[in-house]
Amino acid sequence: MGILETIKDPLDLKKLASGDLPELAAEIRDLLVSTVARTGGHLGPNLGVVELTIALHRVFDSPRDRIMFDTGHQAYVHKMLTGRAGDFGTLRQEGGLSGYPSQAESEHDVIENSHASTALSYADGLAKAFTLRGETDRTAVAVIGDGALTGGMAWEALNNIAGRKDLPLIVVVNDNGRSYSPTIGGLASHLSTLRMTQRYEQALELVKNNLGRVPVVGAPLYETLHGVKKGLKDIFAPQVMFEDLGLKYVGPIDGHDEAAVEAALRRARAYRGPVIVHVITHKGHGYAHAENHDEDCFHSPQPFDVETGEERARPHSWTNVFSEEMVKIGAQREDVVAITAAMLHPVGLAAFADAHPERIYDVGIAEQHALTSAAGLALGGLHPVVAIYATFLNRAYDQLLMDVALHRLPVTVVLDRAGVTGDDGPSHNGMWDLSMLQVVPGLSIAVPRDAVRLRELLAESVGIEDGPSVVRFPKGALPREIEAVGHLGGMDVLRAGDPDVLLVAVGPMADICMDAATLLDAQGISATVVDPRWVKPLDEALVLAAAAHKLVVVVEDGGRSGGVGDAVARMLRDADVDVPVRTYGIPQRFLDHAKRQKILSDIGLTGQDLAREITEAVAKRSPVLERHPARQAQ
């Protein structure tokens, strides 16, 4: 039996002798690599926090002490040490362990955060609650990466934390110089200098060793010199920003020296006030293929071969097509610039950066700043393209509304991973944007159904000069290309039918709608399938098309409430078109993690599900259908 198998609770970890910890760390790394090689997931960040997480659970008493990870993708080791090592093989599988902390899994999981820069605010509130309730034996601990510290919300929280000297709160800065890719910006440069500068510590040690030998005056003189620590830091390293905020600072500490981290955390806990513990770690530590992976240290690899580190081949994806098209647009338009929020490779802008290095801006994990900076670029005569995950647009909604749209600025926002994403769980499904964005004045929204339409709509979008635009597409492999058989205004007619049902297929739902139309034929129901291409504003031709049919059905991979379906229904009401409208999309609830196709099936977004529901809806309005041979045979 390995040591890890004996850890059913953090109390078991506390009972281990310090000499057992290196073997435990090795076992944890072996399980991380072997599992993520099969399931995919966040490998590099977790390899980097093994010793840190062991130290956290040896020093603090979870769940009474509240340990939070920012972001939660670095919590795999935490899961193992809180009784879930035996289930770790189910990581990111339907019904198995989530790739992020999950309150449903364990009382040790405090917050289900996968959006960065939030843990300090949670910790601030928790620590204030402990103080107010007189719970003097409890501590709030926030583990935050240097990448997440580039987010403005983290600094808003630090500003408040620094103002309360009595808060039982410890901030562990897990400093590995990376978020997905190397962390950028002034903060990153400062921390990088601290990582590389040991002169202060060496100088202090030298003074201590030499003066300690001087009788009588040695020790007092050393204490005096130690008291001018801040001055020495000014000489030997850049001024420590955290101390400038009024926060107690400990570090930098070697994050792979468990004993050193443990000692630092014990000192911080004893202080009983807000403390920054600055820990230097290495993303991918202990697995050579991750350590040497230049792009992102195996931040979030596909399943891979453990021996070679070679990832399973990825199919040509929506992101690949966007990447290729951006390079072409950049070559044609010198005014087009690109912005990423610390995700250059994941959103497909790396090729643009290589081709046009002077026109790419990585703003760190700061989506709000990204949008308002884009507004400034547009005011300066450029056309910015901001590429982010759809779920992260939630954070920059106000900036898109009030800083971009209010000024009618030509900014294009490209939303990757829109709709159901699957394995990453409830926080990553990009299901909110089509509902939120319907209320933004002057905004145009394009939803391509395949690779050809993505190229077309991206080009059309960057051609809009009198307001902002959005292009959204899902995660993963490209669907089959569906050519139009005709046009209604600016809409593509994908299938012409008799005036029974008008199927409005929003973007990648086209394939599902075409399947449903074929199944409806067998029930004696003829369906016309149209792809609106632009879902905001909707094409006026949709009104005439709807009026010619008995039922309108809108199918989208966004939330049903306030989405495209509701916009279509409102458009028809305003035009006094009394045709009934049925809407199908993602229910407004947080979806458990599973494969995309399984989730779509579970929520009824398959051709078969749609055909059955539409048949029932039509039958209620056309009793003659009940006598159709296909229905009689059922």
∠ Cα 21 26 27 (to 5°): 95
Q: For 65-217, where are the alpha helices, taking DSSP H only?
A: 76-79, 119-132, 152-162, 186-196, 199-211
Amino acid of residue 7: I
What span, in angstroms and rounded, lies between the C-alpha atoms of 300 and 292? Answer: 14
| Ranges assigned E (strand) in 62-112 | 66-70
Tell me the two tokens of residue 241: 């920003």
DSSP state of 627: G
Work out the angle between the directed axes of helices 199-211 and 218-227 (0-180°, nearest 10). Answer: 160
User: Which one of the listed residues 29, 283, 453, 536 is annotated catalytic?
Assistant: 283
Please indicate whether residue 283 is annotated as part of the active site: yes
State the Cα–Cα distance between residues 64 and 82, nearest whole angstrom: 13
Q: DSSP assignment, residue 317?
A: B
Contact 547, 579 (CB under 8 A): yes
Residue 238: name the closest of 197, 278, 276 by CA. Answer: 197
Coil vs helix vs strand at 421: coil
β-pair partners for 361: 339
In 10 A of CB 381, how many CB atoms? 8
The set of residues, in sequence order, having a beta carbon less than 8 Å from that of 509 and lying 6+ positions away, is 449, 555, 556, 557, 605
CA distance 454 to 484: 14
* Strand 491-495 with 527-531, pairing: antiparallel
3-state DSSP assignment of residue 481: coil
Q: Which residues are annotated as a binding site?
A: 73, 114-116, 146-148, 176, 287, 367
Indicate if 570 belongs to the active site. Answer: no
Tokens standing for residue 569: 């229904």
Annotated active-site residue 616? The verdict is no
16 and 22 in contact (C-beta within 8 Å)? no
| SS3 (DSSP) at 157 | helix
* CA dihedral angle for residue 626, residue 628, residue 630, residue 634, rounded to 10 degrees: 30
- State the binding site for thiamine diphosphate: 73, 114-116, 147-148, 176, 287, 367
Catalytic residues: 283, 367, 395
